[in-house]
Amino acid sequence: MQTLWKFGATGTILRSYWGPRSRTLTQGVTMGFKYLFQVFMVVFGLAGCASTQVVGVLPEGLWHDSLFDYQTARVTDNADTVFKLDESVRKHLASYDRMGYTTEGRLDLLISRLYGPSGIRLSYNSGHTTGASQTWHNQRGDCLSLTILAYAAAKSLGLSAHMQEVRVPVLLDRRDGLDYVNEHVNLFVRNDTEILINGQAIQAGGFIIDFEPQAGSRATGQWLSENAILARYYNNRATEFMAHDDRANAYAYYRAAIRLAPDYAPAFSNLAQLYASQSLLHESEQLLEHAIALDGPSYAPLRGMAQLLQIQGRDEEAKHFLTLLAKRQTEDPYYWLGLGLNALHNGHPHDAVQALERAAAITSGFEEIHYNLGLAYWRDGQRDAAQKQLVALRAINNHNQGIAVLSKKLQANTPQSAVF
């Protein structure tokens, strides 16, 4: 199973928080059954800007243009198509007195234009990354797309804004036969003036707008330049092409991402997966080594390296990376799934529930986890909880054969022992 890095898809996401404490300024607008975004006030402002990483020497034989029919024209996105707002969007955002607004007032204006009753009422949609104007017209987008739109709109309104990358715990997302390790971005809007909250004057460093408030991303992170943002955009698009088996365009977009941000480890890790799919195993190994050197022992390149060595029969070498990976196993849903299945087979449903709940908490859209967690709840006598897992399973894939099996069990009075 290939593991790819991607921004803003619901699923395998790396997340942990640091930075100044902050408190909620404005709750997000409710769209359907979930919050679309949330605004936080950062009391102490950003602790610092992005640190400079040492890129080092790029791997030899990095590019294989002829194998992937490389053409620069394949990359149709650029800074203008990603960040530029078209005339209709600028007109919608226009304010006749915008320079008279405080930072707080402009922020309110931004939110009302994007999310208020007279705004376009954006919705979250994972799996496809688009530029600011296209996201506006689509009225939906993934985390990266929505944050790029908010960034472009904030700049249009004269706000001092920066996108930032926030580290978050590992959550895994399986879609279309691929596993995704999602990164997270949000928007920091600097506040240069004193603002009033509940009649009290507060000197705030700025505001954070986050499109995944359930992630709790109130912490400040690493500021991203527009080139760094564009590199992450290219990485997302490349991963989308790879998911559709369009290797030529995937290669072109990974190439573009690395050209813009040669210190961006996920692009190297993802390109390694593409190379491995073409039996370029030596080159894939070099890329994974480079990704680990850039970003440390991160989940995706460690897992990729272990799998790459194992398929070559180099089990002893793979043990080193498996040991490193074992240190992160509590963040791996497959680890908890395995424990849960073993507990079910051994007749310990309560232990299975505990393990599978851990698995469900760190992933999304994983049908096998929801089925077996429903089964474990049922065997443990928690019928209502089992029913909720059945509902979740139907929402993910209404054609999953486990739905009929679990439904039949829930209609029975006595738990059965078979594991689906």
Look up the CATH number of the domain holding residue 325.
Answer: 1.25.40.10
Which contacts of 136-141 are long-range, i.e. CB under 8 A and separated by 24 or more positions? Answer: 136/85, 136/89
pLDDT of 234 strictly over 50: yes
Which range is least confidently modeled, 18-22, 248-252, 289-293, 328-332? Answer: 18-22
Give the per-residue pLDDT at 395: 87
Same domain, 307 and 284: yes
Give the per-residue pLDDT at 194: 62
Give the per-residue pLDDT at 128: 84
Same domain, 179 and 326: no
Same domain, 282 and 140: no
Give the per-residue pLDDT at 364: 80
Q: Are 35 and 29 in contact (CB under 8 A)?
A: yes
Above pLDDT 70, what percent of the chain? 74
Q: Which residue has the higher pLDDT, 172 or 50?
A: 172
Q: State how far the Cα of 90 lies from the Cα of 111, in Å rounded to an integer.
A: 15
Which range is least confidently modeled, 70-79, 239-248, 253-262, 333-342? Answer: 333-342
Residue with tokens 């390790």: 181
364 φ/ψ angles, rounded to the nearest 5 degrees: -145, 150
Q: Which helix (H) or strand (E) holds 182?
A: strand 178-190
Give the per-residue pLDDT at 98: 55
Q: Are 233 and 144 in contact (CB under 8 A)?
A: yes
With respect to residue 254, please indicate whether it lies within any of the assigned structural domains. Answer: no
Which range is least confidently modeled, 6-10, 106-110, 175-179, 271-275? Answer: 6-10
Q: Tell me the residue range of the domain where 319 lies.
A: 264-330
Which range is least confidently modeled, 28-42, 60-74, 91-105, 106-120? Answer: 28-42
Q: What is the mean pLDDT of the chain?
A: 78
Write the single-letter amino acid at 322.
L
Q: State how far the Cα of 135 lies from the Cα of 128, in Å rounded to an integer.
A: 10
Kindly provide the residue ranges of all beta strands, DSSP E only, lying in 234-369, ordered along the sequence.
Answer: 363-364
With respect to residue 256, please indicate whether it lies within any of the assigned structural domains. Answer: no
Which range is least confidently modeled, 132-141, 306-315, 406-415? Answer: 406-415
Show the tokens assigned to 293: 């050197």
Pick from 413, 356, 342: nearest CA to 388? 356
Same domain, 369 and 225: no
- Where b means 16+ CB within 10 Å and e means fewer, 297-317 reads ebbbbbbbbbbbbeeeeeeeb
Q: Which residues contact 361 (CB under 8 A, 6 or more apart)?
A: none
pTM of this structure? 0.71
Q: State how far the Cα of 54 lies from the Cα of 35, in Å rounded to an integer.
A: 38
